[in-house]
Amino acid sequence: MQLAEIAQALQIESQPAWEDIIVTSVCFDSRNLEPGALFIPLVANNDGHDYVQSAIEKGAVATLWQLDHQEQIVDLPQLLVPNSLQALQKLAKYYLNKINPQVVAITGSNGKTTTKDMTAAVLATQYNVQKTQANFNNEIGVPLTILAMEPHTEILVVELGMDHPGELTVLSELVEPDVAVITMIGEAHLEFFGTRDKIADAKMEIVTGLKEDGVLIYKGNEPLLQERVAKISQESLTFGMDEAVLVDYQAEQIKSDGVQTRFMIKNHNTPELTIPLMGEYNVANALAASAVGEYFHITGMNLQKALREFALTKNRTEWVSGKQGARILSDVYNSNPTAAKEVLKTIADLPVVGEKIVVLGDMLELGTQSAQLHASLAEVINADEISQVYLCGEMMRHLGEVLADKMPAERIHLYDVTDKERLLADLQKEIKSDDLVLVKGSHGIHLEEIVAGLAE
């Protein structure tokens, strides 16, 4: 866009010279800035205004600039705004309306990134699709996702995250979805919300901006969602795995070989579907993506091909080959009790020649219930199936105490977060070529360092 058009979008008086300045991208981090960018300095732990010289050197052509920083002299066209983050969001709203794609917004305690990747792949078989990259799902990431859209984008698949009440309201009103998806309600962010009821309230904020003729797609066997969805005026569709609960998209004939999972959708005229992932929780994500696909009239053959071949965002559940030849299941981007139990149950069902070894890191942001929720993972750790358990972090010690009643102490290994070097060394000594290893923990524990050390 011309800088003059950006000024108009932000209701700033334009200057004649701005007609000739073309902005090709936006960027808030001067380290990643490309020539032609509009530099947007944000005020957080670091003040982006302090890095404007770096942005100029990288090729920025203009900058938003907060009024309270006017004393700084900047050799760059400036669009003066009261708040640079709000101006970023306002510009994103303008651009979204200009391109005018249909919008699919996805949130949930678990599975939102995988569902986003699946949904985008399904829709891309018949439409020009843009999706959230990496984890750009917050008040900064969502507007940047919007502003990264190509002009020919027909559908925007956007992931919406949240860690405090009201955040999804802002994001939903920004993107105004045609389709909203809630993957599930779990225990993520209990530290901030206190109860699952309040988490459900926060997730339902996604309907705030949902168009009147839009549709909400959600997990049908979640009572906390059922009672809240009953109060909205928009259409709703359900998906799920629980045969006791009637849903619109029900998986059946589920078969998994530990690398991929095949299933059918009950009472739907679609072929057998395959996803390159294991676990019923990923089948549920695929059901949500299938529901979105059917809403947009994706053919059964295209649905089948997309789910079979879709690319998963890095550091989500992925198989890694170990140096000794062992199979390593890496799931180190995030963790909470629901997700951890699901993957532990799935691991228990997988065939293995050698031993099954589990490496678990602390699950963060669980608040006052953290100790109890960590200990609850013992419910799904079968001492006959799991040979060794390696626990990393202060909270995982609570799980270790409970496990001591289920398995010999020499099979339970405890480590501080600062002691990952010893953890890696012990694992390298223990793991053999025919073993299966699960590594799971919250991103803040950085168990990706362990995966990197074990990988070939």
Report the Cα 265 to chain-centroid distance in Å: 25
Angstrom distances, CA of residue 143 to CA of 20, 93, 130, 139, 147: 25, 8, 13, 7, 6
Q: What is the CA radius of gyration of the chain?
A: 24
Per the DSSP assignment, residues forming a β-bridge with 320 are 328
110 marked among binding-site residues: yes
Whole-angstrom Cα distance, residue 453 to residue 447? 10
Residue 264, CA distances (Å) to 253, 302, 332, 346, 410 in order: 6, 15, 29, 19, 43
354 is in an annotated binding site: no
The verdict on whether residue 58 carries a ligand-binding annotation is no
Residues in the chain, total: 456
**DSSP H helices in 43-83:** 52-58
113 is in an annotated binding site: yes
Q: How far apart are the first and last CA of the chain?
A: 46
Which residue from 36, 89, 47 is spatially nearest to 72, judged by alpha carbons?
47
- Consult the annotation and say whether 111 binds a ligand: yes
Distance of CA 242 to the CA centre of its chain: 24
Residue 109 is labelled as binding a ligand: yes
Residues making up the annotated binding site are 108-114
Residues making up the annotated binding site for ATP are 108-114
